[in-house]
């Protein structure tokens, strides 16, 4: 029996990393015993040869694989529009130029799901055009008639029309598919379409799509709408935050724009600051179209703060007037109102002269004059400056001078440039104190008819006592308005990004995979909207809490039953009431002690919280016991500001023959330039094509957090997989002695 146990223990340790350091850990304990120390050193040398030897061929292969992976071949899925550097789009290491997921549109069967429904498309083409405006050379506006088809993501090739992103076309009639859209691909799969709703007040053209198409594909109805066709005709589609707030039918956040000037900063033409987004519960608005009330409501969601010494107010105001997010352009407002009126039965569109006059009467300058706040003390601003040990970000170049900024030379003395604003999301993340724990318990145990404590009113006193004392635990459904109502909220609050009000499944919560498609959409319309980024992050944090509770219920039903027994104890609700009134009293301690085990387990899987950080320590201790103490510390500091992939991901994809799909040598030369004159690549006419100076790169990184994040993840995964051999796909629990030598991809 003893032999069996020893053999079992030997195999347990042999399947972990503990044997690698078993002898090396003895070295420092044998300093006073020369013979034992010599023997131990001999054992360590054998361990190094056995476990730590990497051949020169393996090293070369690792570096070669790393270099190949770092050169991202940028592709866009023609069916759903996602541009994901982690997706090979059917390419393999042996055939990097070929793609198993490349589809020739001419080869698919008639009435395939990738083809547009003919009857619905005929009705769409017969719809009246939409009147829109574009700026002309005289400072006025030119009227255009835009076909409804220009707003849809589709391509006409010969006599057939396809649900395809036009920018994703390869060679005029081919597209690549992502992993999700290529699953079960069949060129002969016929489309299953819904019946058209004849006689409805609004034709939604549902029979144009296929219910058997991939879930996130345009052919399934997930069409965010096409903006490039409008842009090609000179129509401005880059809606500012203030313009969106003005036309929103629901608001989900307040924004504080802070412009700062102190010290040497006061002499610069480009000031710096922050745009601070404060998400909150979605609030519907009685929208009666454009007018004075809409303007005042939009300004009410925006606060402007100036931080600087006395005498700097005028310069700070001048910089604030140039913030892109605070623009109000009459033609943009007119066009968005026209789309809403024609496509979604919105209010009538006022005349352009009326819009111009109202903007003059309620201008940004007047709002700043009467409502902007000032702060003279800059001590807090200096104290909260983030660290940047590697000097990669340099705080969005806020300390660089005008010499490094090519735009500064184009502005006359005494004039300002648009300030460099770093976006910040301000979320409520309370510390795990007693009152916070009680609030968490209260959120789990809701008195009344279900829902989330943040999104439902308190119990009506008129309801009988027997009803109000029922206990309902949060589960996966009917939690809060950002579940089933999430798509409707997004359409109302960010309508300009989705002119068709399509892309999400109505009445359903938005899965994580869908958010990935949204923020990796090829034209970066969603990734460049920081308010949407922070709204989605706040929503995912809330969902993580509820998923943690549901996971416990699903994986351990006995724990859920025990939890219900505790909650249905006769005096539990009374003690919970007493605990809410006195968070530091004995009732609070008793309530927490009875459910603290469940709360701890739930909170450890909620991202960015103190419970997650506490749970990580338990994981580290478990890893230490399983694999032995760490023998090395690997540190990687990726530079996302000067990374070519990050710059390419932050640039909208426009086609296979242009940047960022192609990387011209002029771009790389400018990125690698050592002198200011070498950091720009000019076209034949002298205009700057690639501005790779430090100021431009820092501003670009600040405006593209998604591109920086996805590039960071891609680089770290590349290091782990190809340089270190730590890919999760190759995790094994076999004995070291039985594993193949060398690193294999």
Q: In this predicted model, what pLDDT tens digit does every residue of 689-732 receive, in sequence order? A: 788 888 888 889 888 999 999 999 999 999 988 888 776 665 55
- Inform me whether the pLDDT recorded for 218 exceeds 80: yes
Give the model's pLDDT for residue 471: 40
Q: What is the dihedral of CA 79, 81, 86, 91, to 10 degrees?
A: 40
User: For residue 407, how many C-alpha atoms fall within 13 Å in the half-sphere facing its CB?
Assistant: 17
At residue 651, the pLDDT reads 94
pLDDT of residue 377: 72
In 3D space, the residue among 223, 129, 208, 220 whose CA is nearest the CA of residue 499 turns out to be: 223
- What pLDDT is stored for residue 430 in this prediction? 45
The percentage of the chain sitting over the pLDDT mark of 70, rounded to a whole number, equals 74
Task: State the DSSP H helix or E strand holding residue 572, giving kind and residue range, or none if neither.
Answer: helix 572-581
Higher pLDDT, 97 or 144: 144
Query: What's the pLDDT score for residue 475?
Result: 36
Please determine, for residue 358, whether its predicted confidence score (pLDDT) is greater than 90.
Answer: yes
H helix runs in 398-508, sequence order? 434-444, 465-468, 486-493
* Gap between the terminal Cα atoms of the chain: 41
Most confident of 190-204, 382-396, 690-704: 690-704
Q: Is the pLDDT of residue 469 over 50?
A: no
Q: What is each CA distance from 644 to 83, 673, 683, 690, in whole angstroms?
A: 16, 13, 20, 12
Q: In the predicted model, what is the mean pLDDT of residues 286-304? A: 85
Instruction: Name the most confidently modeled range: 18-22, 266-270, 385-389, 515-519.
Output: 515-519
Range among 300-304, 475-479, 627-631 rated most confident: 300-304
Of residues 647 and 263, the one with the higher pLDDT is: 647
Residue 185 has pLDDT above 60, yes or no: yes
Q: Among 491-505, 548-562, 643-657, whose mean pLDDT is lowest?
A: 548-562
CB atoms inside a 10 Å sphere around CB 189:
17
| pLDDT value at 199 more than 70 | no
Given a cut of 60, is residue 228 above it in pLDDT?
A: yes
Mean pLDDT of the chain: 80
Please tell me the predicted confidence (pLDDT) of residue 483. Answer: 72
Structure tokens at 209: 């799509």
On the question of pLDDT at 183 being above 80, the answer is: yes
pLDDT value at 494 more than 80: yes
- Per cent of the chain over pLDDT 90 is 38
Average pLDDT over residues 104-121: 93
Q: What is the pLDDT of residues 407-454, one digit of tens each?
A: 655 666 667 788 888 888 888 754 445 555 566 666 656 543 333 333
pLDDT at 180: 92
pLDDT of residue 468: 36
**CB 153, CB 163: distance < 8 Å:** yes
Average pLDDT estimate for 605-615: 71
User: Which has more confidence, 207 or 16?
Assistant: 207
pLDDT for 4: 72
> What is the predicted pLDDT for the residue at 120?
92
* pLDDT band at residue 201 using 50, 70 and 90 as cut-offs: low
Residue 289 confidence (pLDDT) above 50: yes
Find the helix packing angle between 586-603 and 557-567, rounded to 10°: 160
Strand segments, DSSP code E, in 111-209 are 130-135, 141-146, 155-157, 160-162, 174-176
What pLDDT, on a 0 to 100 scale, did the predictor assign at position 454?
A: 37
Lowest-pLDDT range, 42-46, 202-206, 398-402?
398-402
Under a CB-based contact definition with an 8 Å cutoff, are residues 270 and 695 in contact? yes
At 401, the pLDDT band (50, 70, 90 cuts) reads low
Contact assessment for residue 644 and residue 715, using Cβ atoms and an 8 Å cutoff: no
Instruction: Report yes or no: 157 and 228 within 8 Å, Cβ to Cβ.
Output: no
Centre a 10 Å sphere on the Cβ of residue 337 and count the other Cβ atoms it contains: 20
pLDDT beyond 70 at 280? yes
Two tokens, residue 394: 């340099």
pLDDT at 563 over 90: no
pLDDT at residue 341 is higher than 90: yes
pLDDT at 465: 39
Distance CA 274, CA 390 (A): 22
Tokens in use for 625? 């016991």
Q: Which residue has the higher pLDDT, 539 or 234?
A: 234
């Amino acid at each position: 029996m003893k032999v069996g146990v020893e053999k079992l223990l030997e195999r347990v340790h042999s399947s972990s990393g503990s044997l690698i350091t078993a002898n090396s850990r003895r070295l420092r304990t044998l300093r006073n015993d020369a013979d034992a120390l010599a023997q131990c050193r001999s054992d360590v040398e054998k361990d190094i040869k056995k476990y730590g030897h990497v051949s020169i061929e393996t090293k070369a292969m690792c570096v070669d694989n790393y270099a190949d992976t770092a050169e991202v071949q940028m592709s866009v899925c023609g069916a759903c529009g996602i541009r994901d550097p982690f997706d090979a789009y059917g390419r393999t290491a042996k055939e990097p130029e070929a793609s198993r997921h490349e589809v020739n549109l001419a080869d698919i069967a008639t009435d395939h799901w990738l083809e547009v429904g003919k009857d619905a498309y005929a009705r769409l083409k017969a719809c009246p055009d939409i009147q829109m405006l574009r700026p002309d050379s005289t400072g006025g506006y030119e009227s255009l008639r835009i076909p409804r088809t220009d707003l849809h993501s589709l391509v006409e090739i010969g006599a057939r029309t396809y649900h395809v992103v036009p920018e994703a076309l390869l060679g005029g009639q081919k597209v690549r598919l992502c992993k999700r859209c290529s699953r079960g691909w069949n060129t002969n799969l016929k489309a299953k379409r819904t019946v058209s709703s004849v006689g409805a007040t609004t034709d939604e053209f549902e029979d144009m799509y296929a219910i058997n198409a991939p879930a996130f594909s345009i052919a399934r109805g997930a069409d965010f709408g096409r903006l490039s066709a409008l842009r090609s005709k000179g129509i401005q589609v880059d809606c500012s935050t203030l313009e969106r707030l003005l036309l929103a039918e629901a608001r989900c956040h307040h924004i504080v724009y802070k412009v700062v000037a102190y010290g040497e900063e006061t002499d610069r033409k480009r000031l710096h600051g922050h745009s601070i987004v404060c998400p909150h519960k979605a609030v519907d608005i009685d929208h009666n179209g454009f007018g004075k009330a809409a303007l005042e409501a939009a300004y009410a969601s925006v606060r402007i703060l100036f931080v600087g010494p006395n005498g700097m107010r005028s310069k700070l105001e001048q910089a604030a007037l140039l913030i892109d997010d605070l623009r109000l352009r009459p033609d943009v407002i007119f066009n968005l109102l026209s789309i809403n009126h024609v496509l979604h039965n919105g209010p009538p569109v006022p005349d352009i002269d009326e819009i111009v006059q109202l903007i003059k009467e309620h201008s940004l300058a007047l709002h700043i004059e009467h409502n902007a706040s000032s702060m003279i003390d800059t001590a807090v601003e200096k104290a909260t400056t983030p660290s940047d040990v590697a000097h990669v970000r340099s705080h969005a170049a806020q300390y660089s001078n005008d010499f490094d900024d090519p735009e500064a030379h184009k502005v006359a003395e005494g004039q300002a440039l648009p300030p460099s604003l770093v976006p910040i999301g301000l979320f409520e993340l309370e510390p795990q104190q007693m009152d916070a724990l009680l609030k968490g318990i209260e959120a789990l145990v809701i008195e009344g008819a279900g829902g989330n404590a943040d999104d439902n009113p308190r119990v009506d006193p008129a309801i009988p006592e027997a009803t109000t004392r029922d206990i309902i635990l949060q589960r996966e459904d009917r939690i809060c308005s950002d579940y089933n109502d999430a798509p409707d909220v997004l359409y109302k609050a960010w309508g300009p990004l989705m002119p068709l009000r399509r892309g999400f499944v109505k009445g359903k919560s938005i899965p994580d995979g869908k958010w990935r498609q949204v923020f990796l959409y090829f034209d970066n319309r969603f990734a460049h909207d920081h308010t949407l980024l922070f709204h989605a992050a706040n929503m995912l944090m809330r969902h993580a809490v509820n998923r943690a509770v549901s996971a416990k219920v699903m994986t351990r039903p006995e724990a859920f039953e025990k939890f219900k027994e505790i909650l249905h104890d006769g005096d539990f609700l009374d003690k919970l009431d007493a605990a809410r009134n006195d968070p530091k009293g004995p009732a609070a301690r008793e309530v927490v002690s009875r459910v603290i085990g469940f709360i701890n387990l739930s909170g450890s899987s909620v991202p960015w919280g103190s419970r997650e950080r506490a749970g990580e320590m338990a994981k580290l201790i478990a890893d230490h016991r399983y694999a032995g103490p760490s023998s090395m510390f690997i540190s990687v500091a990726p530079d996302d500001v000067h990374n070519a992939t990050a710059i390419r991901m932050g640039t909208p994809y426009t086609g296979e023959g242009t940047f960022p799909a192609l990387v011209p040598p002029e771009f790389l030369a400018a990125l690698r330039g050592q002198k200011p004159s070498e950091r720009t690549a000019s076209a034949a006419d002298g205009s700057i094509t690639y501005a790779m100076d430090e100021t431009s790169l820092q501003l670009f990184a600040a405006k593209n957090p998604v591109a920086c994040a996805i590039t960071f993840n891609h680089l770290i995964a590349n290091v782990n997989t190809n340089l270190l051999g730590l890919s999760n796909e190759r995790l094994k629990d076999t004995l070291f002695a039985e594993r193949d030598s060398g690193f294999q991809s």
